Amino acid sequence: MRYCKKCLEPDTRPDCIFDNQGVCLPCRYAESLDDIDWQSRRCELDDIVAWGRRHTKSQYDCIIGVSGGKDSHRQALYARDELGMNPLLVSCTYPPEQQTERGAHNLANLCRLGFDVVQVSPAPERWRQLMRFGILTFANWCKSTEMALYSSVPRAAIAYQTPLIFLGENPALSWGSAGGSLDGDANRMKYNNTLKGGDLTPYFEAGMRDADLFWYRYPTDAEMERAGLRLVYLGYYIRDFNDFRNAEIAMLNGMQARTGADALPQEMGQVNTFDALDDDFVAVNQMLKFIKLGFGKVSEQCSGAIRNGEMTREEALRLTHLYDGKVGARIIRRFCQYINVTEEEFWTVVERFRNQDLFERVPGQNDWRLKHPPT
Ligand SMILES: [Zn+2]
């Protein structure tokens, strides 16, 4: 395992990009921000806005997928207040057992701020079965839910005949996960590592029928072309579109961050209090990512903080060593109850997926550690 010379980005992230000096793409992009011609990007964005207005057949001129978090708030406010647009917000909402109170508050806050929000709620029992299948098969419960979160947005754009879709950041530039482009064009984002072109084959093997999976199925290229969809990373056009600034603006506008026990890094496996506000089970998946790829959310958040000048590399190393891949026992317990597996079964799955190329036993202890932790 090797790490970026500047941040803590590891080379085990699928599709990561490092230059020949051992520096990751997000660090290089962050360095280049001052040299970018933002005025010309704004002109490009103005053309996109005009395109959205020209091509809509509804009263809305763009669609924004939202969870109610910091990026949702920033995008919605920017589109309306800075670009003068009339966005329709689309939210694929977690079932009640999964959505946090805070998540419900934050989504309601977008309504309070004056936006129209369409909520999509895929059938909860199927949602749960797909999560259960995901954890037992891939040690990843998010695969199906991410399909739904991403697919419901272009589905709604087609249904409401509003072809311009804004997404937040370009994942390649923000966290080094190739997203099909290195600019504002997001039309090929379904071919990234998460969505894999919208392939649902594994779920048919899980006994699902085509008709069960409408909200999980990303539109085909032909459907997208027929509807004239245009997907754009809004964050690419905004100089200060980053986690910290977005959170600041969102909180000034009423978004609630994590507090108390829900913000403890040893419980949540994250050090930022403004990420993943609507769901606690995400900490389980970050732990599993750590088991498989050797890094979790803490190292990602710390890398972002280094790039943004919010944290030294020394502090990032300290927090990552302490908390990366951690998750509280109460979250594991609730998760196991929700997907109906015993904790023993759960830990058997976890250990089956542990990457033994990356981990070694701690001598004299029933524990594992990274062979090559970041230094
Ligand atoms: Zn880096």
In one-letter notation, the amino acid at residue 126 is R
Centroid of ligand 1 to alpha carbon of 224 (angstroms): 34
Q: What's the gap in Å between 19 CA and the centre of ligand 1?
A: 10
pLDDT higher than threshold 90 for residue 45: yes
User: Exposure of 63 by Cβ count < 10 A (0-12 exposed, 13-18 middle, 19+ buried)?
Assistant: buried
**R_g over Cα of the chain:** 20
What lies within 8 Å, CB to CB, of 17 at 6+ separation is 24, 25, 172, 176, 178
Distance CA 176, CA 178 (A): 6
Q: Mean pLDDT, to the nearest integer, of 303-319?
A: 97
**Top-ranked range on mean pLDDT: pick from 37-41, 137-141, 189-193:** 37-41
Quote the pLDDT of residue 358. Answer: 97
Strand ranges for 97-226 from DSSP E: 116-120, 164-167
Expressed in angstroms and rounded, the spacing between residue 255 Cα and the centre of ligand 1 is 29
- pLDDT(38) > 80: yes
- Write down the pLDDT at residue 200: 87
How many angstroms is it from 30 CA to the middle of ligand 1? 9
Distance from first CA to last CA of the chain, Å, rounded?
A: 11
Residue 110 has pLDDT above 70, yes or no: yes
- Per-residue pLDDT at 179: 60
Compute, in angstroms, the gap from residue 82 CA to the centroid of ligand 1.
Answer: 31
Residue 178 is predicted with a pLDDT of 67
**Average pLDDT, rounded, for the chain:** 95
Is pLDDT at 310 greater than 70 in this prediction? yes
Question: Which of the two residues, 338 and 182, has the higher pLDDT score?
Answer: 338
**Is the pLDDT confidence value at 240 over 90?**
yes
Q: Where are the beta strands (DSSP E) in 69-149?
A: 87-92, 116-120
- CB-count burial class (<10 Å; 0-12, 13-18, 19+) for 293: middle
Ligand 1 centre to CA of 168 (Å) is: 20
At residue 104, does pLDDT exceed 70?
yes
